[in-house]
Chains A and B, each alone.
Chain A
Amino acid sequence: MSAYKTNNKVVAWIEERLPIFSMLQHSAVEYPTPRNLNYWWNFGSLAGFMLVVMILTGVFLVMNYTPNTHMAFESVDRIMRDVNYGWLLRYLHSNGASMFFILVYIHIMRGMYYGSYKAPRELLWWVGIAIYLAMMATGFLGYVLPWGQMSFWGATVITNLFSAIPVVGPHIVTWLWGGFSVGNPTLNRFFSLHYLFPFVIFALVFVHLWALHTVKSNNPLGIDVKSPQDTIPFHPYYTIKDLFGIGVFLMFYLSFVFFAPNFFGEPDNYIPANPMMTPPHIVPEWYYLPFYAILRSIPDKLGGVVAMFSAILVLLFLPWLDSSKVRSGKFRPIFKQLFWLFLADCFVLGWVGAQVPSPNVTLIGRFATVYYFAHFLVILPLLGKFEKARPLPASISAPVLKGGGMAAGAHAQPMEKA
């Protein structure tokens, strides 16, 4: 790191008292980044961008939203009709939630394929899981706010999961509701927490970045940075690459906002909540579907809840469950195949979660659930012991600068099309 120099007197005055400019110089400009990151590494910054979009649109939506069971639905409808560009704000926010999850799921899968959870990045991975959990909670709370039929019944079903806890379960549910059913106190506290959690996520993102900048980015080869030749400064190389990524992503995101704004939504949520009328088929938002499938695959209620939470918590142990010393899936011929199989399994679970339960669907769901856990608890611990990894390149710059020819061959040129 070079010392921060400036000729600007104002900047120097501030810098002496609060070294914000040198920090930016250090963390956002000079930050040495592996030169071979491919486009899968765009999704972290994209998720950060999406978080900002969600907070901004959310803050303006709140100015016109009323968290009261008699007025919430009407206030959202008023946003759609009478608030200037209210429809745009709301569709940006509701589709944004789905986009945020798409980005984060790709980001997580990137980490899983390239072994980004392995030493020394275990805490970075843990903070990421904490962010993901906070996102799940925030998404659920937010879906309740418009107080449509799916809001109300989704809230009823999900909060009732806690009643499965022995002895204290029903008391916990009453405590969560602030009453004896989902009602106005529930809506009020969900609104309060839905406004709070994004800022918790924001703080966690800073911890995530702090940990990242301490251990530095992983890369598609999964080998450590060995010399300055292996890295390039973050700015301008990755700032422009991330900006380009944001441009592409915005076109995808806004296509939904402008042309299919209710694609991810449920028509039932345009019917005001009615506690006396249960919709024929209650489904959670798509991003919970794989876990919903796991919940329903277990015939016992408590067992289902435990399995559902375990499905996420098992990720915490991933750094130790994966016994291979090689980080990148690129050099693990069997792992690579099993990774795609695991991903396919997640999609199968997602599909099962959206179906009306039937014997066949339940059977598929059970197989997929068993495979989900087997991937973490059986396959990954054993695979590292038996799999023969392909030889790793000597350094990041070697295959990149020599244009391949290493063992990595055709795969070792991720920047080729960049």
Chain B
Amino acid sequence: MRKLILPLLAAAFLAGAGSAARAHEGPELLHPGFSFEGVMGRYDPAALKRGFQVFHEVCSNCHSLNRVAYRSLAAIGLTPAQIKSLAAEREIQDGPNDEGQMFMRPGRPSDAYIPPFPNKQAAAAANGGAAPPDLSLMAKARKGGPNYIYSLMLGFEDTPPADVKIPDGKFYNTVFPGHAISMPPPIQDDVVTYADGTKATKEQITRDVVTFLNWAAEPELDERKSLGLEVLAFLAVLTALLYALKRQIWKDVH
């Protein structure tokens, strides 16, 4: 029994330290339960495609996705032709050419997702002074990850509580630190029309786009978990064999 105390204490401590470091600030987050949670959890391919549609039609008008290349969208089921025409939708500055001139050209699959604004200052100027953050790593860069984004998207309220003063041009959000967010509520029912016939409620749209954003931050998740199961299954057998061998070698020592 005593042998168990230290590991148990250590585990409790680590869990405590982890949650302690995570716990402060912010209200309770919604936990809608995503398909990619848990050991067996994987991305839902249909949700990824719908989520990308939401990002493409709604989010990408203001937010950049600088670390995701068009080519990597093949992983969520876009065909090479689709990727090519998608990349060409926006122009990007390139150059200098042989005459020494910078020029604009359509995007290519090898480009990172072309941002809506040429630089941070332009993005801030067009959005009331607050530049919309890049979304590539957002699902890993906030406490609560996907649950935080989900709660933030659905956390807008028209009338703030009496004791909260929201400056002009900002919006009340229950989850955002300080509650005054510069982003207007981006998602309403039917803000997109899904090709696969899924009913576009704002909860559904949010769930889909959060799934996509989590993929953008952790594109390796499916492969990581599948490989993990194989590795752990192998180790379980190997360790059992090593234990049997250990028993055999040690049997005449006692």
Contact = CB atoms under 8 A, between A and B. Distances in A.
Interface string A338-372: 00100110010011001110000000000000000
A269 to B, nearest CB: 8
Contacts of A88: 224, 227
A109 B7 CA distance: 12
Contacts of B67: 74, 77, 81
A251 B14 CA distance: 17
B228 interface: yes
A281 B232 contact: no
Binding site secondary structure of chain B: helix
Contacts of A409: none
Given A232-B253, A243-B242, A266 B21 contact: yes
A354 B20 CA distance: 6
Interface in A190-246: 232, 236-237, 240-241, 243-244
B14 A286 contact: yes
Interface residues of A, number: 58
Contacts of A354: 16-17, 20-21
B230 to A, nearest CB: 10
A286 B17 contact: yes
Interface string A245-276: 00110110011011101111011101100000
B9 A347 contact: yes
A48 B246 CA distance: 20
A166 interface: no
Interface string A103-129: 001100100000000000000000000
Interface string A381-407: 000000000000000000010010000
Given A247-B239, A251-B235, A415-B253, A258 B140 contact: no
Interface string B4-30: 011001101110111011001100000
B238 interface: yes
A241 B238 CA distance: 13
B20 A251 contact: no
A280 interface: yes
16 contacts: A105-B10, A109-B6, A240-B245, A241-B250, A243-B242, A244-B239, A244-B242, A254-B231, A259-B228, A261-B224, A263-B18, A266-B21, A283-B21, A355-B20, A415-B250, A415-B254
Interface of B: 3, 5-6, 9-10, 12-14, 16-18, 20-21, 24-25, 39, 67, 72, 136-137, 140-143, 145, 177, 217, 219-220, 224-225, 227-229, 231-232, 235-236, 238-239, 242-243, 245-246, 249-250, 253-254
